[in-house]
Chain A
Amino acid sequence: MSGHSSVTLVQWSTLGEAQRTAVHLMPCEIEYNGPAQVSQYLTSTIKDRKQEKTVSFRGRGLRGAELSCPQGYTGLVLKDVNPNASDQEDRTVKVSSTFDKLTYWNLETPPNSDDTLVMSMDWPELAEAIHGAVED
């Protein structure tokens, strides 16, 4: 048995209940998964300037910008309903939150259009060209 038969279902019913949530992509890896006092320490101290936002995390100054999801796209946060299931079993994920924009943070450089994350947002439009139906 090759193990490629397992399927992960997405509980679409959960989409309706999912809340819009603020998401932030940090320029560091935090070795932890779980609750955190984000609004108490981070959100409440963000400074919003014309071109960018600034905040500090663990003493390091960060510069951030908000990005909207590309046209025709929505942000979803998917959560494994049964994280301990093995790879061979069918799994289920639910939609735990949604977002239509995200904030990403750079360590030192000001956020700009050459940031890899910003560039990665080129993809959906190009995907449409590669995968869209060809006219007769």
Chain B
Amino acid sequence: MAQFVKTDSGKRLTRLITNGYMDNIVKAQQGAFVVWIAIIVPAEIFAGFDNVLYCVPESHSALCAGKGVGVSLCEKAENLGYSMDLCSYARIDMGCHFNQGADSPAGGLPKPDLLVSNNNNCTLLAKWFDVYHREWDIPHFILDIPFCYESQKQRDMEYIVSQFQDLIQTVEKLSGQKFNPEKMAQAWENSVEANKHWRRFLAAAKNKPSGITAFDSFVQMAPTLTMRGTPELAEHYRFLADETEARVEQGIVPAPNEKYRLLWDNIAPWHQLRKMSSRLGALDANIISASYTYCLGSREGSLDLLDLESLSPLEGMARLQNFSICPHGLQLRGRAMKQAIEEMDIDGVVFASNRSCKVYSLMQMDQQRYVQEELGVPTVMIDVDHADERKYSEETAFVRMEALLESIDEARR
């Protein structure tokens, strides 16, 4: 099994993320207005203010799970009466912040002055944030974003933009700070630029063998959530894309003996990233792509970049309210997956049935049937939980994944 060596962009990422969490704590102590947001909330809006910072509890929970404290934090929330059936991100977050940031590898998040959720990724985020709204008596602004069975319609975009305008007024009122649309516009340009380089990085998966693993993309996705709109994000993704392209040119790839090119459908199993990647590598299998990451910035139902040129920043952000896979219906997900399978020459698909994410998982049985029966691509479904390791069995998962590899071999005969 190859020894894991961090790339320069991996080291850079660690510094960025660590500094980001520390900076937030310091700035909050110095009086910054703190907003907790769900991942799809347009963070660029807050860049339009001089002293507003945002934190992303979901991303923090993923970090906790990745660092091995997910289970203990879940248990803390369960001891407070929260059901084990609730999303593990939420349980980790509540377990941490109702215990003054205990066990957080990042020192916890500074307490918010405002909570902003949206409901198209999942409505549960609004219920989760409502817990803090009640316990800490903090205002909670919900962005109401229609679910997409087809591409977002103009009317939906207008409705969303009107809510962004309300959000801006809310932040102005609560923070006492004046909104500067030019600063927000600059942040938006940074995000658009960052996304272009992100796509360059993901495109390395088309190489044979793939220049990346999906696990790289899971980890490198973090700053999109926590640093969106910053020039540092754009610069980091440019660095990441350049380094990845250079490595591919030099033949430095994560799975040189790549025999099986796999696609992962669902959120990353944060507590298993390195283990799963290594164990698959030993089988000459590489999960090269994931629906969780290839949808960022894409048109619904496609891997193609959204054309945002003709849109104002607020319109562009409204359009990108669908940047995750969860707001998409079955047909849209199927079309995007078909394109991913074809463009990246995928041999097999791993459907990770995730107990903590119904919005991602409940369509998977039909999606699996579509991929297996209509596209003729071998698939497997394994049981996971993205952040609660108690709901994952490595041996059971690998028995199934090894069976997938055998199916792929069989299909090749």
User: Is B a genuine binding partner of A?
Assistant: no
Q: Chain B residues in contact with chain A, CB under 8 A?
A: none
